[in-house]
Amino acid sequence: MNSGFYSAYAGFAARMDELEVVANNLANVNTAGFKAQREFYRSFAASLNAPNPGPAVMTVSEAVHQAVNQFGILGGTRMDLSQGTLEMTGNATDVALEGPGFFTVLTKDGVRYTRNGGFRLDKVRNLVTQQGDQVLSEQPVGRPPQPIQIPSGTLTISQDGSVSVDGALVAKLRLEDFPPNTPLQQEGDTYLTAPAGAGKPPVNTTVRQGSMETSNSDAIRSTVALIDLQRTSQMMERALSIFHNEFNKSAAQDLPRI
């Protein structure tokens, strides 16, 4: 009975954790450049002797004991870096990346990375994000990060990220990509942090001026996941209630006999 109670509780707790992930994905289906989080589960051995591999051949009772003491919990999440859809905006300061990589921006907390290329010009004509953070230009190794200042004129951003005004080169967008398994961490809806020095120039990436990348979070998938979570959580909650009532019944009937 203890194993059943713990299994139900572990399942219920895991679904509550997953609910936060799915709800955040659903809330950002319209956030440009947003990358959805995908949850994964793992098995947790309730037995304190779980690290012990045990005998090569187990009895039926030992196998059952091991099975009922393996609880499913939320192992964590991984970021889905798949490409979102590119949508034309016609705005000269909007840019999207087709392929891997991220734009690099400078915030009050340091360098951050984003796929949201909905840029604008501030009052001194620096190219900035919607939050007002400076978009950085590509610089030689060892030089400090530099913002991109746009003179008056016709702005052109080429497919390699070169920024020109009236045909004169002004700067080049600083684009970075990261090796697989780099621990990227979300900060807000569209910013990412990465270990210092982990970035490298992206390969096979094209910059599209006048376009924006949509979120890769699917509204239908997230809605279906929410419904499934609700139903599963209700079953887990019902199981917890049953086990709780059984515990109370056992306590009322058996404890007076001790």
Res 212: pLDDT: 96
Residue 50 — φ and ψ, nearest 5°? -55, -40
Question: pLDDT per residue over 123-133, tens digit each?
Answer: 999 999 999 99
Overall pTM > 0.75? no
How would you class 133 by CB atoms within 10 Å of its CB: exposed for 0-12, middle for 13-18, buried for 19 or more? buried
Q: Is the pLDDT of residue 240 over 80?
A: no
Q: Tell me what the mean pLDDT of segment 105-126 comes to.
A: 96
* CA nearest neighbour of 79 among 38, 116, 40: 38
**pLDDT beyond 90 at 114:** yes
Most confident of 42-51, 66-75, 76-85, 238-247: 76-85
> Tens of pLDDT along 96-106?
999 999 999 99
Residue 248, pLDDT score: 57
State whether the Cα torsion 178-183-187-193 is positive or negative: negative
The mean pLDDT value for 222-240 works out to: 76
- From CA 209, how far away is CA 4, in angstroms rounded? 57
Q: Across residues 209-226, what is the average pLDDT?
A: 90
Q: Where are the domains of the chain?
A: 2-80+218-257, 86-213
* pLDDT at position 69: 45
Q: How confident is the model at residue 206, as a pLDDT? A: 97
Share of the chain above pLDDT 90, in %: 52
Position 50 pLDDT exceeds 60: no
How does pLDDT run across 241-258, given as a tens digit for each residue?
Answer: 776 666 555 555 555 555
- Check pLDDT > 80 for residue 35: yes
Give me the pLDDT at residue 58, please: 44
- Say what the pLDDT of residue 10 is: 65
Lowest mean pLDDT segment, chosen from 5-14, 135-144, 206-215, 247-256: 247-256
The string over 40-57, giving b where at least 16 C-beta atoms fall within 10 Å of a residue's C-beta and e elsewhere, is eeeeeeeeeeeeeeeeee
